[in-house]
């Protein structure tokens, strides 16, 4: 440690030592998974490192975002996903709706742009409410991570931007087309070069576009930060891909959730709640079926989608808000990833306010979600769904 001529304190550090190679390309998925799970200390360190990568992405957005709704209100989230679009880890402070809908957006992007066709420097985007977080203001930005010339992971950041064009009066609209600019799954950046046509289109259709485009570039930066940290992580452990680690982390989380669900009493549980968002009372019924190690949530009987007012919910949004509280209740000590949600299924009538058809207006869907998320507080007196007794956490 020295002090230079301008008074700066300079600390010399050694290069990061490479960790022991835990798995290699000669191992099958089963062998590699067993090797990783056989060293619980190393697994805990690696699992924590993944969460820290997502947290650094989150911090990058907070430092570089242009708008207050992103940097101060923190209406965004970051996640690491495997090449199949399944969540591996996410930032601890992610909004629940983003945590669960981002994988849906990523899978839609992969369907349009298969992983095998992706190139280093590519970045993808969508704000389709039926593929993403339920209304056009939420933009999902996805970046592939390349290691040894192949995609090993996908970095995703999704956030609520300050404007997306369209009407300022969400209660007056009758179609999605009035609510703003629709961006299907498409390339935002091609091999390091911004898609100029798309950026110009957004600039001319979004109010205060400098701020919104600044937030979008902030998301791109966060993903690139996460990709760089992921590559360093894999080099440090001599890993050629994340298949085995993903399998172990997601399987352990799934097992923990299934064990917790198995402690609940099998049965059918009913609840309903009402609200009056548009001048006419609406009742939202919920049937929860617990069977073995699985839970089904059925909103059969939900009101039909509204023609006006933008209070409709897409099924992606409904699924996110219906399952997240159960995850928190049953396995609060388990880090969130795709495995936590595999025991759950969600149903809602097509064309209902909880599973609306495109192009129904959706910009004010929180006016509906804010009421039906609380249905769990009013169970039928005959059967109440209770949290099981605490069990040992299924962690590394």
3-state secondary structure of 119: coil
Give the C-alpha separation, 348 to 354, whole Å.
6
DSSP alpha helix (H) spans, the chain? 29-37, 40-64, 68-71, 96-112, 196-205, 209-236, 243-262, 315-330, 366-372
* Residue 8: Cβ-neighbour burial (10 angstroms; 0-12, 13-18, 19+): exposed
Element at 140 (helix H, strand E): strand 138-147
- The alpha carbon of 365 is separated from its chain's Cα centroid by a whole number of angstroms, namely 18
- The alpha carbon of 51 is separated from its chain's Cα centroid by a whole number of angstroms, namely 13
**Short-list 160, 163, 161, 159, CA closest to 77:** 159
Those residues with Cβ within 8 angstroms of residue 289's Cβ, 6 or more apart along the chain or in another chain: 267, 268, 269, 295, 296, 298
Those residues with Cβ within 8 angstroms of residue 328's Cβ, 6 or more apart along the chain or in another chain: none
User: Per residue in 357-386, pLDDT tens?
Assistant: 999 999 999 888 766 545 443 443 334 455
The CA angle 52-57-62, to the nearest 5 degrees, is 120
**Short-list 111, 60, 363, 108, CA closest to 226:** 60
Written as tens digits, the pLDDT of the chain (396 aa) is: 888 888 888 888 766 556 566 777 888 899 999 999 999 999 999 999 999 999 999 999 999 999 999 999 999 999 999 999 999 999 988 888 898 999 999 999 999 999 999 999 999 999 999 999 999 999 999 999 999 999 999 999 999 999 999 999 988 999 999 999 999 999 999 999 999 999 999 999 999 999 999 999 999 999 999 999 999 999 988 899 999 999 999 999 999 999 999 999 999 999 998 888 777 889 999 999 999 999 999 999 999 999 988 999 999 999 999 999 999 999 999 999 999 999 999 999 999 999 999 999 999 998 887 665 454 434 433 344 554 443 333 333
**Short-list 254, 259, 266, 250, CA closest to 392:** 259
Report the predicted TM-score, pTM, of the whole model to 2 decimal places. Answer: 0.88
User: Per residue in 170-218, pLDDT tens?
Assistant: 889 999 999 999 999 999 999 999 999 999 999 999 999 999 999 999 9
* Paired tokens of 303: 């009101």
* Paired tokens of 320: 């996110």
- Does residue 32 contact residue 244 with C-beta atoms inside 8 Å? yes
């Amino acid at each position: 440690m020295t002090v230079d001529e301008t008074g700066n304190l300079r600390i010399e550090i050694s290069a990061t030592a490479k960790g022991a190679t835990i798995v290699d390309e000669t191992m099958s998925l089963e062998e590699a998974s067993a090797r990783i799970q056989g060293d619980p200390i190393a697994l805990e360190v690696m699992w924590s490192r993944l969460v820290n990568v997502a947290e650094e992405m989150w911090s990058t957005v907070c430092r570089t975002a242009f708008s207050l709704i992103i940097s101060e209100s923190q209406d965004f989230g970051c996640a690491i996903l495997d090449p199949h679009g399944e969540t591996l880890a996410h930032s601890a402070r992610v909004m629940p709706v983003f945590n669960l809908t981002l994988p849906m957006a990523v899978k839609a992007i992969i369907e349009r742009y298969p992983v095998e066709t992706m190139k280093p420097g590519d970045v993808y985007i969508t704000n389709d409410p039926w593929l993403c977080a339920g209304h056009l203001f939420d933009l999902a930005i996805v970046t592939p991570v390349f290691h040894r010339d192949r995609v090993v992971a996908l970095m995703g950041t999704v956030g609520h931007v300050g404007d997306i064009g369209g009407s300022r009066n969400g209660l007056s609209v009758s179609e999605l087309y009035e609510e703003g600019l629709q961006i299907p799954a498409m390339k935002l950046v091609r091999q390091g070069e911004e898609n100029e046509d798309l950026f110009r289109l957004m600039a001319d259709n979004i109010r205060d576009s400098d701020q919104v485009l600044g937030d979008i570039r902030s998301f791109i930066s966060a993903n690139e930060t996460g990709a760089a940290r992921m590559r360093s992580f894999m080099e440090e452990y001599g890993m050629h891909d994340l298949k085995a680690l993903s399998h172990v982390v997601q399987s352990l989380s799934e097992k923990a959730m299934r064990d917790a669900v198995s402690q609940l009493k099998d049965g059918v549980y009913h609840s309903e709640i009402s609200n009056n968002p548009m001048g006419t009372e609406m009742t939202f019924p919920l049937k929860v079926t617990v069977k073995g190690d699985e839970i089904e949530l059925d909103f059969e009987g939900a009101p039909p989608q509204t023609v006006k007012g933008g209070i409709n919910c897409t099924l992606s949004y409904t699924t996110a808000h219906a399952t997240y509280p159960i995850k928190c209740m049953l396995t609060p000590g388990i880090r969130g990833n795709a495995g936590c949600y595999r025991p759950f299924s969600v149903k809602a009538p097509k064309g209902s306010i909880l599973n609306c058809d495109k192009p129904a207006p959706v910009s004010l869907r929180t006016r509906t979600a804010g009421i039906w998320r609380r249905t769990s507080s009013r169970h039928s007196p005959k059967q109440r769904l209770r949290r099981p007794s605490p069990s040992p956490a299924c962690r590394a």
